[in-house]
Structure 1
Amino acid sequence: MSELKKSTRTSFAEAIVEVGEKNPDVVTVAADSASRYGDFIKKFPERSFNVGIAEQTMVSVAAGMALCGKIPVVTSYANFLAFRAAEQIRVDVAGSKLNIKLIGTDTGFSSAWLGFTHLALEDMGVIRTIPGIVIIDPADAAEAYAATKAIFEYNGPVYMRLRGRKEEPVIFDKKKDFKIGKGEVIKEGKDALIIACGNAVYDSLKASEILQSRGIRVTLVNMPTIRPLDEDLLLELTSSVDNIITVEHHNTTGGLGSAVAEFLTEKRPQIRQLRLGVKNRFGTAGSEDMLKKGFGLDGESIAISIENFLKNRTK
């Protein structure tokens, strides 16, 4: 793991400028959140639009632009985008399969002290109920950069989660290639399989190190695309393991854990699964470290949950 720290929002802003330089059809639409686009609005003011605090309008304006051949990018706090504009995303974007990139920011616990209204812990569940939208939750800044480039090579609606302004540890040392619908094994072990997305990959990596010190070796998979899931990788890895754990900074209903469980229920019904995430609760105000610990999603808490899960397995 690199010692560097960088925010996913910063990487997104860098990548969107590079994409815009190469593709004049890329336009940005903001709901009073234009700063998330970094230097794009300075370099391309004629392709930058701000509708004010009106997420529903933002999405519908973007839909009109897409129908005219543009490739719009919209961004706002994930909660406001996913909940306030759900109807517009469903009808205007997904219903017509428009080539629009929806960027929900400040996901998971990254809104910290802003509390319940801003902590995005249910946004993937909302978007997953709408057919045809790719859903991406990058693990770190390097992956966010590569994923931003990749979503413009895909013709269709995409919802990508980013976290806040705070710099976070960079897991991947370089700006790697990103393929929609592909997961990757970042650590191998025989005792259990952990599948994580977003910032939970870092905490799961810390948990795997703690478990290793206790004699438990796990395989850890970074699964940045929640839809479409990497079903081939899941089938391959679950052919030789009986216990899997999903970890996400999201409600256990509707996110990564649900997606994996829905798939494996049909394909690998014998698998035991532990879904770690927020369980039927709303977020609250606090520092990220406080919230992760309080919801049992810091490295130590994840390790304890997995250890107990493995101890209690049935013969």
Structure 2
Amino acid sequence: MSELKKSTRTSFAEALVEIGEKNPDIVTIAADSASRYGDFIKKFPERSFNVGIAEQTMVGVAAGMALCGKVPVVTSYANFLVFRAAEQIRVDIAGNKLNVKLIGTDTGFSAAWLGFTHLALEDIAVIRAIPGIVIIDPADAAETYSATKAIFDYNGPVYMRLRGRKEEPLIFNEEVNFEIGKGQILKEGKDALIVACGGAVYDCLKAAEILQSKNIYTTVVNMATIRPLDENLLRDLTSFIDNIITVEHHNIIGGLGSAVAEFLTEKKPGVKHLRIGVKNRFGTAGSEDMLKREFGIDSESIAKTIENFLKKQ
């Protein structure tokens, strides 16, 4: 891991400008907060639109533009995008398999003091219930940059999660070779398999270091694509590791943990599975570090939970 820090929102905006320079069909639509697009709106004002605080309208306009051959990008706070415009995402975008990129920001605990209304802890569950939408939750800013480029090489609807403005530690030092539907092994160990996504990946790597100091050796996988899930990688790893732990900054119902549990139930029923995440409750206001401790998803809590889980096996 690098000592450098950068926000996922910044990397997304930088990659979008680069892609926009090469593809004149890319257009952006904002629901009041156009700052998430960075310099794109300055460089391409004729391809930048703002419908005001109206997420349903934003998604509907995107659908119309996609039907006209454009490649629309929409973004807002994840909760406002996913919950307010759920019907438009389902009917207009997914129902017509339109090439629209849905970018939900301030996910997990990154909305911090904005509290319950803004903490996006159920958004993956909503999108997973809608057929045909790729779901991506990048681990850091470097992966976000590469994932942003990858989603424009894919022809179809994508939902990608970003965090807030806060700069976060970089896990990857260089541009990541990101591929939709492929997980990535970041650390290898024989005692347990940790599968994480988004901001939880960094915490899991730190937890793995704590566990290693106690002679517990874990494999850590960055599962940035939640749909399609990398079942081949899971199948390979669970052929010799019997204990799997999923970790996410999201409710354990409907998120990464549920996706992995569904796979294990059908394909690997003998594997023991522990889901670490938000346990069927809403978020609250607080600093990101405070909230992660409160919900037991900071690195120390993850390590302790995994240690106790393995002791019971």
Q: TM-score range by the shorter chain?
A: over 0.9
The yes-or-no answer on 1:297 pairing with 2:286 is no
Aligned to 1:32: 32
Shift of residue 33, structure 1, vs aligned partner:
1.4
Aligned partner of residue 286 in structure 1, secondary structure? coil
Q: Secondary structure of 2:232's partner?
A: helix
Residue 137 of structure 1 deviates from its aligned partner by 0.1
2:231 counterpart residue number: 231
Residue type of the partner of 2:28? T
What is the SS of the residue equivalent to 1:269?
coil
Give the 3-state SS of the residue equivalent to 2:274 in structure 1: strand
Match of 2:200 in 1: 200
One-letter amino acid matched to 1:220:
V
- The aligned counterpart of 1:115 is 115
Provide the residue aligned with 1:242 in structure 2.
Answer: 242
Q: Which stretches of structure 1, 4 residues or longer, exceed 6 Å deviation after superposition? A: none
Give distance in 1, aligned partners of 2:142 and 2:248: 19
Cross-structure match for 1:130: 130
> Residue type of the partner of 2:136?
I
Cα displacement (A) at 1:180:
0.1
Deviation at 1:175, TM superposition (A): 1.0
| Root mean square deviation, CA, Å | 0.3
Ranges in structure 1 where 5+ consecutive residues have no aligned partner: none
Q: Identity over aligned residues, as a percent?
A: 81
SS of equivalent residue, structure 2 residue 264? helix
3-state secondary structure, aligned to 1:182 = coil
Give the 5 Å matches for 1:1-315.
1-313=1-313
Cα distance between partner residues in 1 of 2:239 and 2:285: 41
Distance across 1 between alignment mates of 2:225 and 2:279:
21
Q: What are the superposed Cα offsets for residues 268-314 of structure 1, whole Å, 9 maximum, x if unpaired?
A: 0000000000001100000000000000000000000000000011x
Measure, in 2, the Cα distance between the counterparts of 1:176 and 1:280.
33
Aligned amino acid, residue 200 of structure 1 = A
TM-score, scaled to structure 1:
0.99
Amino acid at match of 1:21: E
C-alpha distance in structure 2 between counterparts of 1:176 and 1:192, whole Å? 25
Tell me the matched-pair count. Answer: 313
Q: How far apart in 1 are the matches of 2:133 and 2:172?
A: 26
Q: Deviations over 1:217-243 (max 9, x none)?
A: 000000000000001000000000110
> SS where residue 152 of structure 1 aligns?
helix
CA distance in 1, matches of 2:126, 2:82: 6
1:135 maps to amino acid: I
Question: Could you say what secondary structure the match of 2:49 adopts?
Answer: strand
User: Which residue identity is paired with 1:65?
Assistant: M
Specify the code of the residue in structure 1 equivalent to 2:193.
L
Distance 2:50 2:221 in 1: 38
Distance 1:119 1:309 in 2: 28
